[in-house]
A and B are shown apart, each in its own frame.
Chain A
Amino acid sequence: MAIDMTPAAGVGSPTDLEARGLKAAKPWFTGNMLTAFIGGAIGYAFGHWLGNAIASNYSVVADGAGNEVAIYLSLIIGCLGWFVGLGALNYPIQKLLGLEPIDPPKSEKRSFWEHFTYSTDHKVVGVQYLFGMLLYFLVAGLLALGIRTELLSPVNHIWAPDTYIEIVGEHGTMMMMMMTSVIMGPFGNYLIPLMIGSKKMAFPRLEATSFWFTVPSFFILLSALWQGGFQSGWTGYAPLSIQGGPGQSDYDVAFALMALSMVAASINMTATIINYRAPGMRWSRMPILAWGMITVAFTMLLSVPVLFDGLYVMSLDRGVRTAMLYAGHGGSSFLWENLFWFFGHPEVYLLALPGFALTVELLPVFARKPIFALKTSTAGLIGVAVLSFFVWQHHLFMSGMNPDMRPLFMLTTELISIPTGFLYLVAMGTVWRGKIRFEVPMLFLLAVFWNFLWGGVTGVYNSDVPVDALVHGSFFVMAHFHFTIMGQLIFAVFAGVYYYVPLIFGIRLNDKLGKISFWIIFVAFNSTFLPLFMIGLLGQPRRVFEYALRLQHLNQWVSVSSYVLGFGILLYVINLIWSLAVTRTPAGPNPWESRGLEWQVGYPVPRDNFEKVPVVLRDPYGYGTGDDTPVADLNPVGDMAAVVTGGDA
């Protein structure tokens, strides 16, 4: 292998800004979240001024009072200012100036404040993602409780109708766009180098950038609530998206930033897994989570640019009065629908596949058995990813699409249940006759089986045109995707966080509180979403804040259940925060007795992960086989790596 894997590669040596006479600029050069906010505010103000200077009264409607050019420029230049303040541009600017860029050194023990800086340490980025995603999820979840509060009664209203649809749009968009990174962000970034035996990520700056895109994206999206929201909902259909006010521009820019984040993360993940595997880490030995990450990364790389293109077209229609998406001006709303769903349906699998990968990764640890049919699960991941690009038009069955195309997309959508079934059956086979340890992560993993069964089976029905004609736009569809995404992905994340906290933070969560929170979440989740199938079949449409009086009792049941679900999730978060900040019960090395390479390095994870590049000897799933051969040689002697790989070490 010719790749430079020395500790210093890509991260440099200690900085000496003072010696260069740049003492005053040190905070900017090192960068942190505070200077980023200042930079963002300056950029925002400048962008707004520039927009008004160059395009005053040049808006989506002739003589309209709003200047969308100013709004777009303020958000875009504000984001640029954010990155300048963060210090993200120091490296390329210094390179342009002919200086030799140098970064702050990575310390052995990570400080608390380091997590508020533009760090190129993959472990710091993983933790940043973990808490970032947690924040985004909780805010979006709170908005969901706002929705359910409104639906307590069909006649007495908590919100105004326009506020209600703003909240629905915010909830949907925040969940769907931010949660694409809920596994790749924290787990992918923190664990993949450890799992494949690498000392670093391939592109540490790209990795850091991918996280720091999510922060302005979140705040910009949230700010839409203060600007009239976006009535188009998360799908952004024209003409609503073209008619919308400034909140719609927030949606546009926030989604675009998140798209850039996904692309940056994917490029980094793909390059790392392909090029940075340790000697002996063959494809056949690679952990299933790494397979999940690379599959998802490729899917993102092919689908997300199409979304970005659509968002760019939307910004032109809104900002400079082009007419590509609005039929009244000669464009076509089908253009947006196709661009959006060409990303949007693979995106559903961008959410589901990491959940499956994480589930299959953890199950053997608690079943004390090897993964059943490891290659089949890999085939399942790849199969779902490939087929996901051939199903998007099932979202357009009722849109007036060419009816001759419906059977094709019905068939492709039904076909995708086959590789999905691979994953489900592999997971079941892994548990079958295992010596199951009913620890908290395992409880969440077992719940994934139950939840996904509901989501998966109803998904097969939804893909049929006649059924879709009946349930389209109803709560039935809403219940379906909440079972597949929240019931699968978020439960897997809860399992993953619980499982990996000892590795990341060296502490253990409170098991009693963990079990209580699990049972509340599991029961309340089903109590919330199962009745929604019935409510949908009885005719209640999504996105409408009034409904038939006869559905009030069912809706009240669901709303009260959602409060209990919220309480369960809060309990889980309290357990996490309290255990991290207050009790700090030491977990000890490898508390789950995992054979994964990531657990072999101990806590705290060394600065460069491994003292020497390890030599991988086998896959990490040999539980209960009686073969205690180590997974890897962490201190290979001499040119052992060369012997294993048959080439240069």
Chain B
Amino acid sequence: MNKGARISIVLVSAAVAVGLILFGIFGYLRTYPPTVVFTPSPTQPHTVDVTLQVEGAVGTGPHPNWVGWYAKDAQGKWVRTTLYQVPEKTYVHVTVYEYDSGGPLRNPYWGKITGTVGNDAVLNGKKVSVLDAAEGNGIGHTMVAPALNLSVPMWGLSGTEKTFCQSGPCTLANAHNTETFTFYTGNHPHNYRWQCFIPCGAGFLNGNGGPMAETGYMAGFWKVVA
């Protein structure tokens, strides 16, 4: 084999290697759920409305049977993500449609609502400050952002509801609970990590692992920007 051929082989091999590396990085490792940007309306500059839904099986993506969250974007379309961008110094009005079943809490403290305006929320039209997981259908999920002191439990459904949603995104025709709360984003732009604290990873030991540890399912960020 002459020198030119050898050079060609080396260069082509190097190009293939670089291609594989870039494919690995951008095709997989950099695959990230999208961020839904919430902006205030011109008439209410320090307020944004966020609409979310949480359900038992998100229906799409690499793990269609995992529990997960959707957010409604500016066009009114449901986007499967747990990354939400909101402005600093802003009151965030959150509406969550809860479509998943619930159960008792391992730690009743997780039933307490903290970090919201008034340390309370409105569940199906009723103001609540603590959800007693020992009653009714119990708690399905929580939205907890420790650095914002935010912790809000979501009241669960009965798994035997006739119109129980099987696959996301669910619609209001499916059985659901509606919960609203407001929190303040503060003065420090930062990516605030949030996490569901209720072990809900079905198929994983004690419900931990899987969706509990993965962005886009039961973990995400409140991205507070200037």
Contacts and interface: CB of A to CB of B under 8 A. Distances in A.
Interface of A: 59-61, 63-66, 142, 146, 155-163, 167, 225-226, 228, 231, 239-240, 242-245, 326, 328, 546, 577-578, 581-582
A429 to B, nearest CB: 43
In this complex, which of B65, B203, B208 has the most chain A Cβ atoms within 10 angstroms of its Cβ? B203
Contacts of B202: 61, 63-65
Interface of B: 3, 6-7, 9-10, 21, 24-25, 28-30, 32, 65, 190-191, 193, 201-206, 208-210, 213-216, 219
A159 B30 CA distance: 6
B204 A245 contact: yes
B29 A146 contact: yes
B204 A162 contact: no
B215 A162 contact: yes
Given A231-B213, A581-B10, A582-B7, A160 B205 contact: no
B214 A243 contact: no
B218 to A, nearest CB: 11
Given A60-B205, A326-B205, A582 B193 contact: no
A161 B193 contact: yes
A239 B206 CA distance: 10
Nearest to B188: A155
Contacts of B191: 155-157
Contacts of B215: 160-163
A242 B210 contact: no
Nearest to A318: B205
Interface of A is mostly: loop
Contact of B209 (A159, A244, A578): A244
Given A65-B65, A162-B219, A582-B6, A243 B29 contact: no
Given A66-B203, A243-B208, A328-B206, A581 B28 contact: no
B29 to A, nearest CB: 6
Contact of A61 (B24, B25, B29, B203): B203
Contacts, number: 78
A157 B208 CA distance: 24
B214 A162 contact: yes
Contacts of A155: 190-191
Given A65-B202, A66-B203, A162-B215, A231 B209 contact: yes
Nearest to B10: A581
Given A157-B191, A231-B213, A163 B204 contact: no
A61 B25 CA distance: 32
B203 A225 contact: no
A160 B201 CA distance: 19
Given A578-B10, A581-B6, A581-B10, A160 B32 contact: yes
B209 A245 contact: yes
A272 B191 CA distance: 59
Contacts of A581: 6-7, 9-10
A225 B28 contact: yes
Given A228-B214, A582-B6, A582-B10, A163 B29 contact: yes
Contacts of A142: 21
B82 to A, nearest CB: 10
B204 A64 contact: yes
Nearest to B3: A582
Contacts of B210: 228, 245
A159 B29 contact: yes
10 contacts: A61-B205, A64-B202, A64-B203, A66-B203, A162-B214, A240-B209, A243-B205, A243-B206, A245-B209, A582-B7
Given A64-B202, A245-B210, 12 more contacts: A61-B203, A61-B204, A63-B202, A64-B203, A157-B191, A159-B29, A159-B30, A162-B213, A162-B214, A226-B28, A228-B210, A228-B214
Contacts of A159: 29-30
Contacts of B203: 59, 61, 63-66
A163 B30 CA distance: 9
Contacts of B21: 142
Contacts of A60: 204-205
Given A162-B219, A577-B10, A581-B10, A242 B193 contact: no
Nearest to B214: A162
Nearest to B147: A546
Contacts of A156: 191
What are the 7 closest A-B residue pairs judged by CB atoms, nearest first?
Answer: A64-B203, A243-B209, A160-B215, A243-B205, A65-B203, A243-B208, A162-B214
A242 B205 contact: yes
B219 A225 contact: no
A152 to B, nearest CB: 14
B186 to A, nearest CB: 14
A171 to B, nearest CB: 12
B30 to A, nearest CB: 8
A322 to B, nearest CB: 13
A242 B201 CA distance: 13
A61 B209 CA distance: 12
B219 A161 contact: yes
A228 B62 CA distance: 10
A574 B106 CA distance: 57
B35 to A, nearest CB: 11
Contacts of A63: 202-203
A146 B24 CA distance: 12
A65 B7 CA distance: 51
A28 to B, nearest CB: 27
A177 B40 CA distance: 52
A61 B203 CA distance: 5
A400 B2 CA distance: 65
A533 to B, nearest CB: 28
